[in-house]
């Protein structure tokens, strides 16, 4: 999306063509299936329908996300915590605490992950290269766990993407 918007901006500014030439057909792009394990699939099929959702705005204070990021960086030297990870764990933990009835129930956290670098998308390919990544843990662990441990779970899930895609490539018929 960023490449596309950059190209539009360049054309609007009067350039005759974008600095990154668009790839109009990229048949080299590998398209893997969703990377969701059997237990996660089973849990997701048992979810209630989402027809009763309501619009809700939530603010996660930047002071809180900055504190989480700083504490994570101090505890895990050489690793950084993103704002997305910090805000996500706050929401995941608060939501789990609010709805938890059975501490053994899985608490899923699903997020879109960019896989452009893992699937062979060439520069200039404007298509989407994303997958859904799932983090699953017991509700009690998410509700009562340390916030930095939850950040680590999300980071670990992100780090598994390349291996999961390689595993898929190796299993092709």
Q: Please provide the DSSP assignment of 99-129 as one string.
A: H-S-TTSEEEEEEEEE-TTTTTPPTT--S--
Asked whether residue 16 is assigned to any structural domain, the reply reads no
H helix runs in the chain, sequence order: 2-12, 38-45, 62-75, 83-99, 139-144, 147-159, 161-170
Strand pairing report for 130-138 and 106-114? antiparallel
Q: Is residue 135 part of a domain?
A: yes
Residue 64 lies in a domain: yes
Enter the pTM of the model. 0.73
Give the single-character DSSP code of 171.
T
Place of tokens 């997305």: 84
Other C-beta atoms closer than 10 Å to the C-beta of 63 total 8
Q: Are 135 and 69 in contact (CB under 8 A)?
A: no
113-122 contact pairs (CB < 8 A, 24+)? 113/158, 113/161, 115/32, 115/161, 115/165, 118/161, 118/162, 118/165, 119/29, 119/30, 119/31, 119/32, 119/165, 120/28, 120/29, 120/30, 121/26, 121/29, 122/23, 122/26, 122/28
Locate 32 and state its tokens.
């893997």
- Domain around 62: 23-170
How far is 83 from 156, CA to CA, in rounded Å? 16
| Phi-psi label, residue 14: left if phi above 0, alpha if psi -120 to 50, beta otherwise | left
Q: Is residue 1 part of a domain?
A: no
Domains contained in the chain, number: 1
pLDDT tens for the chain, residues 1 to 173: 677 888 889 999 998 888 887 776 556 555 555 556 666 666 656 666 666 777 788 899 999 999 999 999 999 988 999 999 999 999 999 999 999 889 999 999 999 998 888 887 888 887 778 888 999 999 999 999 999 999 999 999 999 988 888 776 655 54
Q: Residue 18: inside a domain, yes or no?
A: no
For position 37, what pLDDT does the model report? 62
Task: Give the CATH number, domain containing residue 109.
Answer: 3.30.559.10
pLDDT at residue 33, as a whole number: 55
């Amino acid at each position: 999306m960023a490449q596309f918007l950059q190209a539009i901006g360049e054309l609007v500014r009067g350039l005759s063509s974008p600095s990154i030439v668009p790839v109009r057909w990229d048949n080299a792009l590998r398209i893997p299936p969703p990377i969701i394990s059997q237990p996660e699939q089973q849990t997701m099929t048992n979810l209630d329908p989402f027809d009763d959702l309501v619009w809700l705005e939530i603010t996660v204070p930047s002071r809180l996300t900055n504190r989480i990021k700083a504490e994570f960086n101090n505890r895990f030297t050489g690793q950084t915590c993103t704002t997305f990870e910090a805000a996500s764990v706050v929401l995941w933990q608060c939501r789990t605490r609010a709805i938890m009835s059975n501490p053994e129930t899985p608490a899923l956290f699903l997020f879109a992950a960019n896989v452009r670098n893992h699937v062979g998308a060439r520069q200039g390919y404007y298509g989407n290269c994303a997958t859904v990544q799932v983090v699953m843990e017991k509700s009690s662990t998410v509700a009562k766990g340390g916030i930095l441990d939850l950040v680590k779970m999300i980071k670990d899930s992100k780090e598994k993407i390349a291996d999961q895609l390689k595993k898929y490539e190796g299993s092709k018929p």
